Amino acid sequence: MSQIVITLIILAVAIVLFVSDKLPMGLVAFMVPVALYFTGIIEADDIF
């Protein structure tokens, strides 16, 4: 799977979580860069 597809999937999941308000927005905002790191799309220095 290409990096853009993985990024778009993570973005779509984040949007659904933001809209549904199942998790606090701060937690979702924290989880997105962590998910991008664990999938190898961004480096550890670029997370925050």
Q: Measured in whole angstroms, how far is the alpha carbon of residue 39 from the centre of its chain?
A: 10
Residue 38 lies in a domain: yes
What is the extent of the structural domain holding 37? Answer: 3-42
Show the low-confidence residues of the chain (pLDDT under 50). Answer: none
The answer as to whether 19 is a domain residue is: yes
CB burial of 22-36 (b: ≥16 within 10 Å; e: otherwise) equals: eeeeeebeeebeebb
**Domains of the chain: total:** 1
Residue 48 falls within a domain, yes or no?
no
Tell me, yes or no, whether 47 lies in a domain.
no
Q: Quick one: pLDDT at residue 46?
A: 86
In this structure, is residue 33 part of a structural domain? yes
The answer to whether position 15 is within a domain reads yes
Q: Would the pTM count as exceeding 0.95? A: no
